[in-house]
Amino acid sequence: MTLKTVSHLLAAILLAAAPFANAQEKAPKLDTSIDKVSFHIGMQIGNDLKRQGLEVAKPELIAAGIAASLAGQKSPVAQEEIRAAFEEIQKIVEAKQAEKAKVVLEAGEKFLAENKAKPGVKTTKSGLQYLVVKEGTGATPKASSTVTTHYRGTFIDGNKFDSSYEGDAPTAADQPATFPVSGVIKGWTEALQLMKVGAKYRLFIPSDLAYGPAGRPSIPPHSVLIFDLELLNVEE
């Protein structure tokens, strides 16, 4: 069983609850290779669960269950009880996720309604909003083009989720991204065909032109995304 499989199984029994007691009070001693690997496995499982936006109800019991399984012990809970518990928890998790998605959706709609009235912000027929920070003088991409860009992506609260820059300001260590114009989210595909090489735009992308109700591991469903996008090069 892979770590990903383990984390997916754990995700089915998750609830928002109190954090694991003493989890951050003292770093564990990792003297041996087994210590290090064991701790790393736990970190990977925890990170995967965090990416899914889920919290562990009682991590000490999850750890106890893993230990019991490795020791060859049988579960003290009947399969019928486990199945019923899974179904109950899954309903609670889905309800919590739906409520979070509703909050994100409403916040995004409010943001876009207010943002489109700001000076310099233009809105296309699709609903894409953009602000020209700097006009370019080079070629304009087509849907069939491949482009090289620098970008920084944030949520409407300002938190960054992705960037081609190493830090907050451009440096020689930055790694620009190259990709087909038609191979990205709809908001980018549309915006790139409005730009010329050398241009810098700030994009305000509605959820339906980004990742929609599905979201991504690091992007909640219905998220409005903001990108500072610089077009560096175009290849036909």
DSSP code per residue over 168-221: SS--TT---EEEEGGGS-HHHHHHHTT--TT-EEEEEE-GGGTTTTT-BTTB-T
- Answer whether residue 62 shows pLDDT above 90: no
| Residue 149 parent element (H or E) | strand 146-155
Which residues are the active-site residues?
151, 161-162, 185, 211, 227
In the chain, the percentage of residues whose pLDDT exceeds 90 is 53
Per-residue pLDDT for 59 more than 80?
Answer: no
Residue 58 CB partners (closer than 8 Å, separation 6+): 17
In the structure encoding, which two tokens stand for residue 103, read together? 């909050």
- pTM reported for the whole predicted model: 0.71
Tell me the pLDDT band of 167, cut-offs 50, 70 and 90. low
Residue with the larger pLDDT of the pair 166 and 224: 224
pLDDT confidence band for 41 (50 / 70 / 90)? confident
Mean pLDDT across the chain: 84
Per-residue pLDDT at 52: 54
